[in-house]
Amino acid sequence: MPLQYSRGPFLHTIKERSLISIFRERLFHLVHIRHLSSSEIRKILKVDPQLTNLYNMSSSELQQILQINSDKMKLVLQEFSKVNVKKLLSLYKSRNIHYMTYFDSEYPYMLKEIYNPPLCLFYIGNKTLLERPALAVVGARDASLEAFHSINMILPGLIKENIVIVSGLAKGTDTIAHEGAIANGGKTIAVLGGGFFHLYPSENKELANVIAREHLLLSEYPPLWKPEKWYFPMRNRIISGLSIGTLVIQAKKRSGSLITADMALESGREVFAIPGPITETLSEGTNHLIQQGAKLVTNSSDILEELQLDMF
């Protein structure tokens, strides 16, 4: 990435702090433009690493940097002019919503190791949970009672070792994982596939409120943005990226959980799977993962012996 601020023991000078604040707000502005992808924002950062000239660029200059057609450029400029940074910052502050950028010292270093790490993360709750070892727990939205029993058998041993449980607040396995972590006295992080003002699914609103108060809600999508179908596969890379391993509970042969497992492998993380009956559709994905080399899990010790917790 083109920009790194000092993380040494000395405080930034007033001037440096001012420049950092300006940079963060301008990056905040850019990520609120729906028609700008993260790769396109990175093109701007490559040319203008501190975003010093962002508001002085001509439209033709910006279009040349972005390498986009005129129709898309028109949409970008329309959005660019509509985003009121100060108003949004004030709104988010009133809702206890904060944000961190890729360039901030608090940004999770493990997330920097994945492909296309988010340039901004919006969060509500205890951000220090990002400093603790975490395990992603994912699986089917139509999870069976067996998934509930498996999760609640395995989580206590992990929580005893201070491991944070990361999932996506979806129906089924995600919900069981978050609730199981809370019920067993542990901590959990929920990574959303949309903005905080449009929680999905709606039936998990109270669970989200509990996580916001006592744990951590996280999203790369600005709070005002509604969930879109394609946001959820993108969300999965954050779930696996925050974690030293991913546990798949139940999954069909083609499922988002297997995508999350693939993303974990691409980032060099461990993948675990709970086996199931060969007659069950929800066992096809997990049994296939085990055939491909994922570690078969029957208890928390199977996971703990593979994780390098001393790195935290």
Confidence of residue 209 (pLDDT cuts 50, 70, 90): very high
What pLDDT score does 20 carry? 84
What pLDDT score does 4 carry? 32
Mean pLDDT score across all residues of the chain: 91
In the sheet with 164-167, reading across from the earlier edge strand, the strands are 98-101, 120-125, 216-219, 188-191, 164-167, 134-138, 245-248, 270-273, 295-296
Residues 149 and 77 in one domain: no
Confidence of residue 177 (pLDDT cuts 50, 70, 90): very high
Q: What is the CA radius of gyration of the chain?
A: 20
What pLDDT score does 19 carry? 78
Residues 145 and 218 in one domain: yes
**Which whole number is the average pLDDT over 138-143?**
92
Total tally of structural domains belonging to the chain: 2
Work out the percent of the chain whose per-residue pLDDT is above 90.
82
What pLDDT score does 17 carry? 66
**Which whole number is the average pLDDT over 34-63?**
95
Task: Identify the weakest region by mean pLDDT among 1-5, 204-208, 234-238, 272-276.
Answer: 1-5
State pLDDT tens for residues 93-112: 999 999 999 999 999 999 99
Residues 285 and 140 in one domain: yes
Query: Is 118 part of a structural domain of the chain?
Result: no
Q: Flag whether pLDDT at 311 surpasses 70.
A: no
Confidence of residue 18 (pLDDT cuts 50, 70, 90): confident
Q: How many residues would you count in the chain?
A: 312
State pLDDT tens for residues 213-240: 999 999 999 999 999 988 998 999 999 9
Q: Is 202 exposed, middle or buried (0-12, 13-18, 19+ CB in 10 A)?
A: exposed
What pLDDT score does 91 carry? 98
| CATH number of the domain residue 145 falls in | 3.40.50.450
Query: Is 89 part of a structural domain of the chain?
Result: no
Work out the percent of the chain whose per-residue pLDDT is above 70.
93
Residues 170 and 221 in one domain: yes
Query: Is 250 part of a structural domain of the chain?
Result: yes
Query: Is 100 part of a structural domain of the chain?
Result: no
Residues 45 and 179 in one domain: no
- Whether the full predicted model's pTM is greater than 0.75, yes or no, is yes
| Domain encompassing residue 25 | 14-83
Residues 136 and 78 in one domain: no
State pLDDT tens for residues 235-277: 999 999 999 999 999 999 888 898 899 999 988 899 999 999 9
